Amino acid sequence: MLYDALLAPFVEFEFMRRALVGSLALALAAGPIGVFLMLRRMSLTGDAMAHAILPGAAIGFLVSGLWLPALTLGGFLAGVAVALASGLVTRVTKLGEDASLAAFYLVSLALGVTIVSMRGSNVDLMHVLFGTVLALDDGALLLIGAIATVTLGALALIYRPLVMECVDPVFLGSVSRAGGVVHLTFLVLVVANLVGGFQALGTLLAVGLMMLPAATARFWASDVTGMIAVATGAGMVSGAAGLLLSYHWELPAGPAIILVAGGIYLVSLVVGKEGGLLRLAFPGRHLEA
């Protein structure tokens, strides 16, 4: 019974194994990225950037259909362009970063949907917006794996200044000139992971596997290392459980993964030991670990 519920779908069906590998690789890299976005108070930036890649991916689709290299390159270039343009507008005008990103992301979303609609069908539009995690091929898995590897390697190199920038950017600026490079590198990693997530979850849901596990981790750990570990684990559990939920209940796989991640977040919001609602309501010793 337990075998049929938890293991049989992955043992018997190759597309489920591919989806599981892709989901685990996404969670491995997206978890740490989401934690740093949250610590830098840039959670909504991730959502805006997820929509920003849509026009580039849509142009790639317009030129070559669902050919992976074109979609990936187009999405990556569009995301980096929007990040740089938003930062430039913030620096040279009185418009805040949140308002600038909101403007760019709304225009990007509308433009991307329009471009896809010019050539594709509603099925193509749904593919771009919500992804096809159950149809990941070798190319998509290699791309996701490469992005995860590069992300973890880059985070290891910039970990200390990145943490310092989250805690005290003024101090980092006074002792090092690495702040600008670290910030730009981090934004590139955000865009790269959103492009990887786009292959599986689409532009509308890619940020979900990045931010929901990170928000969950905040209720279970108080230090950065602990939050990264919890976020990564929560993302992996969400991927596996969402795929099983999709298989047994015939639900769309991408939304199922994000719904599981949302469920884990809501449970953590209530019972989490670091500021959960029960902890706040009953701070007595009987709730202490």
Q: What residues have CB less than 8 Å from 198, skipping those under 6 apart?
A: 50, 53, 57, 71, 75, 131, 206
Spatial CA neighbour of 125 closest among 54, 63, 64: 54
Say how far apart CA 76 and CA 81 lie, in whole Å: 9
Confidence (pLDDT) at 152: 97
Maximal C-alpha separation, the chain: 63
Distance of CA 148 to the CA centre of its chain: 12
Query: At 219, which amino acid appears?
Result: F
Residue 84 CA: distances (Å) to CA of 20, 199, 247: 34, 23, 41
Confidence (pLDDT) at 121: 67
Q: Which residue has the tokens 């099925």?
A: 123
pLDDT, one tens digit per residue, over 6-50 is 999 999 999 999 999 999 999 999 999 999 999 988 877 788 888
Give kind and range of the element (H or E) at residue 126.
Answer: helix 122-130
Confidence (pLDDT) at 27: 96
If pLDDT is split at 50, 70 and 90, which confidence band does 284 have?
A: low
Please say whether the beta carbons of 185 and 238 come within 8 A: no
Please say whether the beta carbons of 112 and 58 come within 8 A: yes
Give ∠ CA 90-92-93 in degrees, rounded to 5. 70
Q: What is the mean pLDDT of residues 174-184?
A: 79
CATH of domain 2-287: 1.10.3470.10
Task: Provide the strand spans (E) within the chain.
Answer: none
Distance of CA 53 to the CA centre of its chain: 13
Spatial CA neighbour of 87 closest among 154, 33, 42, 50: 42
Residue 168 CA: distances (Å) to CA of 160, 174, 182: 12, 10, 14
Query: At 286, which amino acid appears?
Result: H
Domain boundaries, the chain: 2-287
| pTM higher than the cut 0.85 | yes
pLDDT, one tens digit per residue, over 240-263 is 999 999 999 999 999 999 999 999
What percentage of the chain reaches a pLDDT higher than 70? 96
Please say whether the beta carbons of 254 and 134 come within 8 A: no
Residue 27 CA: distances (Å) to CA of 115, 200, 242: 30, 12, 13
Please say whether the beta carbons of 160 and 104 come within 8 A: no
Give ∠ CA 36-41-43 in degrees, rounded to 5. 75
